[in-house]
A = this chain, B = another copy of it.
């Protein structure tokens, strides 16, 4: 099946927002084994929308259309498509009641514009919108399938998640994402070459992301349970090869997994940061509930702060410089004392652009202080990108913590 993804909205053509929906939908359709041949963006203009829809009909089988389902006059998608297909628009009771209920809680009556959101094309399967008021639609004709989705990314993703399984034909489609860190995309591909080549259904697709790799596994089957078992089987084969780098499923992140693991173990954390300057702590505290495990962190950007807050010795700083394994160890142990935590991470290094310590830009020391002593690791990153050095350092520190927590049962204080 050949597909075209069409986004409707003048704000895209003015450059006010990027068409991130097209990327999300492309990955989703690829995982369903559907070839996306084109993306198109068109403004809120009936004539131009009609031309774009016609042309998509002529060159593809599946049209996935985002945007233009809202309450305002310039939301024209379903009106234009219905006209093109010679179908009427009719009120969907469920959507109507949902809008009415939503407005009641705000003590308001429904306007005609708001009512417009409950209109659907006759013959379409209505895709309830769990995150908003305008429902999506899936419509099959003799030659084409049309999927209409809201332009708001959160609503679009919610509808896909809720109706994913059965949008295409009778088969159930199930998808699962595995997250890896510490291995590059090409290295992961090499380790899994045979598996990826031999896997049609279930299938494997790798995606590179800020110093991480995601693997998306997708299975199609007549029954849901069968699809799930196919995913379980493939996941076992994948992890047998690269489990050392696996850290979580789906939409999670390294700091989130670190915090959940600490919470389950009843372990507390602290941090001492030089080159990362608070990015490690900030990544943790981005996550709701961080305070259950994270005690806090000291950003010690100059040597005076390293001495005053963490009692790193003046001699050590003079003899080894701040960018050294011994200073990293002293910082981690200082933070563990200061915050009275079970574990403490320290990060010091050269983020560049120039080196003050004599060490090469991209040299980073990460120490982990624990009840059983302190370990330190040296990382070396490409020197060209300060931001990437900081990002990689922070993620390597999370991963170091995670590996330690998996190996050792820490006694909570």
Contacts and interface: CB of A to CB of B under 8 A. Distances in A.
Interface of A: 7, 12-20, 22-30, 36-43, 48, 51-52, 55, 59, 207-208, 271, 273, 275-282, 284-286, 288, 290-291, 294-302, 304-305, 308-309, 338-340, 351-353, 386-387, 390
A219 B279 CA distance: 40
A26 B42 contact: no
A53 to B, nearest CB: 13
Given A23-B19, A278-B280, A286 B390 contact: yes
Given A19-B19, A26-B12, A27-B15, A290 B277 contact: yes
Nearest to A279: B282
Interchain residue pairs A-B with the least CB separation, the first 10 = A277-B285, A15-B27, A15-B26, A278-B281, A278-B278, A39-B41, A278-B282, A297-B299, A18-B23, A296-B305
B55 A37 contact: no
A278 B301 contact: no
Contacts of A390: 285-286
Given A15-B29, A55-B55, A298-B299, 13 more contacts: A13-B26, A15-B24, A16-B207, A19-B22, A19-B23, A38-B42, A277-B285, A286-B390, A295-B304, A295-B305, A296-B301, A296-B309, A298-B298
Contacts of A276: 282, 285
A295 B286 CA distance: 23
A30 B14 contact: yes
A312 B51 CA distance: 67
A38 B53 CA distance: 13
B40 A14 contact: no
Nearest to A7: B39
A278 B299 contact: yes
A285 B294 contact: no
10 contacts: A14-B27, A14-B36, A38-B41, A39-B41, A51-B59, A277-B294, A278-B279, A278-B299, A281-B299, A296-B302
Which among A15, A28, A285 has the greatest number of chain B C-beta atoms within 10 A?
Answer: A15
Contacts of A40: 38-41
A113 B98 CA distance: 59
A41 B5 CA distance: 10
B19 A39 contact: yes
A13 B351 CA distance: 35
A334 to B, nearest CB: 12
Nearest to A356: B291
A13 B34 CA distance: 11
A25 B15 contact: yes
A216 B297 CA distance: 39
Interface centre among A43, A280, A296 (most CB of B within 10 A): A296
